[in-house]
Structure 1
Amino acid sequence: MAGPTTAERGERQQESSGPPPARRPRRPRLRTIVILAVAAVLLASGSVWLLYGSPWLRVERVSVTGTRVLTLQQVRSTAAVPLGAPLVSIDADAIEARLRRKLPRIDSVDVVRSWPHGIGVKVTERTPVLVLRKGGEFVEVDDDGVRFATVPQAPKGVPVLELAISRPGTAAAGLRRFGTDGLVREAVRIAADIPPAVAHTTRTLKVRSYDNISLELSGGRTVSWGSAENGPAKARTLTALMKAAPDARHFDVTVPTAPASSGS
């Protein structure tokens, strides 16, 4: 019997020896590693120097927007942004907190970096919906019931809030239960619900107790509103009642389903 041919012997040897070994990846040379490490250090150092040490990215101006009563100088001086400081080092949160703390008229504020040289301060001021008399001055109250500023004159079109809580009994009990701040918030809720046409002529909101709040309008007209509950319904009823009895002097919407008017 003939033995294996030369070709067959070669195939058997290849099978027994297995596939040729894969080439191992060449390790990066030490020189390459050193160069990359130095480049990374230089890049990081350059970035730090650019942000903190260079003269190019520093605060040169502070812009203020959104003010109505506050002056630009008031906001800038209170913000106390250090001119010439690296822009990246400015603590926007701290500036915002300082502005809200020292200028209570500010409702919200947003401080942003305006690269490469500016800081932007966007202010939203509180809007008074009522004022409280304080001696010869007036304390402004916003729609959250926050007393935020004292001014020498009441802003035009803003009603005066009169706390007339002097009687014992129910009024005193309401004062103990809700406190002055609570009653002020009730008056603020009512101010928000007064129909626009009526709000334009409202001069005073008088609070005698939690559920005994009235409006004094121009021309000597009055409105018994009651509490702040069912405000939208009372507003609709008052509008209809005034149309139905335009010459009336007093309107009662304490129970909006059973309104009344009187006087002429």
Structure 2
Amino acid sequence: MARKPPRPAGRSGSTPVPGHVVGTGDAPRSGTVLDFPGPRRSHRFRNTVLTLVSLAVVLGGLVAFAVFSPVLALQTIVVQGQSLTTADEIDAALEPLTGTSLTRISREDVLELLADKAPIEDVRIAAEPPSTLVVTLEERKPVAVVREGSEFVLIDSAGQHLAGVADREDVELPLIDGGTDAADSAMFSAITEVLAELPDPVLFRLTSASAGSVDSIKLSLDGDRTIFWGSSERSGEKALVVEAMLAMPAGDQPVKEFDVSTPDRPVTR
């Protein structure tokens, strides 16, 4: 039986063999198709969302624990910086905070409860877990004493009553003439303004303070000596001059009056 001659490559009508590349003058070669996976953005987004949700749940749990847990409930109050008030007074005033979580107690809460305590100007608070609150008081500075009936009262530079005085002799502050009735006068304000400028070593040596007018303030010192201050203007400069003059060695003739009404030209008599 006669054999059919092979069909020439490249003739029209030829059928390519699957898996081979046919071309003129090229030998057949095999090929492989790779299947690349699609993008994984959806998986990354889902994982990110799940992570964020988990973190939110954990943080929420921590916040809830800190705010509501009885472990951090206030049990002990430590009071510092008091001289015109007592620790017992402050403890009693802050009693409503007992049992409150330390994380929920603010400086404003403490100030509100101490609002009726005249000597207290400001407070600082610090929590000491698990159950202690440290309250540091900033009290107003008393500058003088006034007579109120048969008693004596400490006042600050604004004329505010701070505390009663059990024994006048125990307080090294000047007595302002006129008592509490004079507290609203211009002369009273001028005197307290002067006293607020004095350094403590000078202030504690005064026995009284008076004024015939706002321009004639007079301070009495121990040893029957006086300081003629004049007006309250330039009080800072006058205070420095007085402090320097009092620190000078005593001369042969004792000085009875220090006149600093003009601080550039102080006079002694």
Q: TM-score, normalised by structure 2?
A: 0.68
The one of 126, 132, 136 equivalent to 2:146 is 132
Q: Secondary structure at the match of 2:220?
A: strand
After superposition, residues 4-153 of structure 1 pair within 5 angstroms as 23-28=38-43, 39=54, 42-44=57-59, 46-99=61-114, 101-153=115-167
Give the corresponding residue for 2:213.
Answer: 209
Aligned residues: 235
The one of 166, 177, 182 equivalent to 1:162 is 177
RMSD: 3.9
Distance 1:198 1:30 in 2: 74
Q: Secondary structure at the match of 2:223?
A: helix
Distance 2:266 2:53 in 1: 85
8 A contact 1:96–1:111 mirrored in 2: no
Distance 2:240 2:52 in 1: 76
Identity rate of aligned residues, in percent? Answer: 26
8 A contact 1:51–1:88 mirrored in 2: yes
Instruction: Tell me the amino acid that sits aligned with residue 101 of structure 2.
Output: P
Q: Which runs of 4+ in 1 moved over 6 A?
A: 29-35
Query: What displacement does 1:158 show?
Result: 0.7
Distance 1:41 1:260 in 2: 75
Distance 2:167 2:153 in 1: 9
> Greater Rg, structure 1 or structure 2?
2
C-alpha offsets along residues 39-62 of structure 1, whole Å, 9 cap, x if unaligned?
A: 457535533542344332222222
Distance 1:30 1:231 in 2: 71
Query: What displacement does 1:249 show?
Result: 2.8
How has the CA–CA distance of structure 1 residues 89 and 234 changed in structure 2, closer, same or farther, with 3 Å as cutoff?
A: closer
8 A contact 1:127–1:142 mirrored in 2: yes
User: Which stretch has the larger CA shift, 186-195 or 131-140?
Assistant: 186-195
Instruction: Tell me the amino acid that sits aligned with residue 224 of structure 1.
Output: F
Distance 1:58 1:41 in 2: 25
Give the corresponding residue for 2:257.
Answer: 250
Instruction: Tell me the amino acid that sits aligned with residue 143 of structure 2.
Output: V
Distance 2:116 2:176 in 1: 25
Distance 2:191 2:127 in 1: 40
How has the CA–CA distance of structure 1 residues 218 and 46 changed in structure 2, closer, same or farther, with 3 Å as cutoff?
A: closer
8 A contact 1:234–1:256 mirrored in 2: yes
Q: Does 1:191 align with 2:195?
A: yes
Query: What displacement does 1:81 show?
Result: 4.3
Instruction: Tell me the amino acid that sits aligned with residue 135 of structure 2.
Output: V
8 A contact 1:143–1:188 mirrored in 2: yes
How has the CA–CA distance of structure 1 residues 136 and 152 changed in structure 2, closer, same or farther, with 3 Å as cutoff?
A: farther
Give the corresponding residue for 1:17.
Answer: none
Distance 1:220 1:202 in 2: 10
Query: What displacement does 1:203 show?
Result: 0.5
C-alpha offsets along residues 117-146 of structure 1, whole Å, 9 cap, x if unaligned?
A: 222211122231111211122221224544
Distance 1:84 1:112 in 2: 16
Give the corresponding residue for 1:13.
Answer: none
Query: What displacement does 1:209 show?
Result: 1.4
How has the CA–CA distance of structure 1 residues 63 and 4 changed in structure 2, closer, same or farther, with 3 Å as cutoff?
A: farther
Q: Secondary structure at the match of 1:50?
A: helix
